Amino acid sequence: MKNKTKIGIIICDRYRSCAGGKCFRALQNREGAFDIYKKEEDVELVGYTTCNGCPGGNIEYAPEEMKKNGAEVIHLATGLVVGYPPCPYIHDFKSFIEEKYGLKVVLGTHPIPEKYFKTHTKLGTWNSSEWQELIQPTVSTEPVRLAYN
């Protein structure tokens, strides 16, 4: 029997009406931050929700439900990084979930769309080494970013 990895995704509340298409496509294709899973690895989504708006009240409770559903990994969606301004609580969310629930937290889901990449590059949003590290799992190549526009 194949190993199955169960994951949860938490998105920025600004995108609360998002149907998840880019995240689900990236998961299926193992693109962006989902490239950490092998193509042949069985990955099951066991939860998908928003942070519930600043300062992220749902971060306190949603991972617990996801963990009860078997989640081993929580992905903080790419929208938390590409929205303007990027989420000021992303480090707090990661630390809290890892500490309180013992779950691995991955920053990002789908590849950064090219339009966001260009905007943030022009604005200098991600110029620091800290931000360069944060966007690394989702920066991808220009053709892939264009495919996610």
The CATH code of the domain that includes 63 is 3.40.50
- Name the pLDDT band for 94 (thresholds 50, 70, 90): very high
- Name the pLDDT band for 3 (thresholds 50, 70, 90): confident
How far from 55 is each of 51, 92, 99, 121, 139, CA to CA, in Å?
8, 10, 18, 26, 25
Domain count, the chain: 1
- Alpha-carbon gap, residue 39 to 90, rounded angstroms: 28
Q: Six-digit token pair at 23?
A: 């995240």
68 lies in which domain range? 4-147
Q: CA 122, 125, 130, 132: dihedral to nearest 10 degrees?
A: -30
Q: Are 8 and 45 in contact (CB under 8 A)?
A: yes
pLDDT tens track for 56-77: 999 999 999 999 999 999 999 9
Sign for the pseudo-dihedral over CA of 20, 21, 23, 25: positive
**pLDDT surpassing 60 at residue 1:** no
pLDDT tens track for 19-32: 999 999 999 999 99
pTM to 2 decimal places: 0.94
**pLDDT surpassing 60 at residue 124:** yes
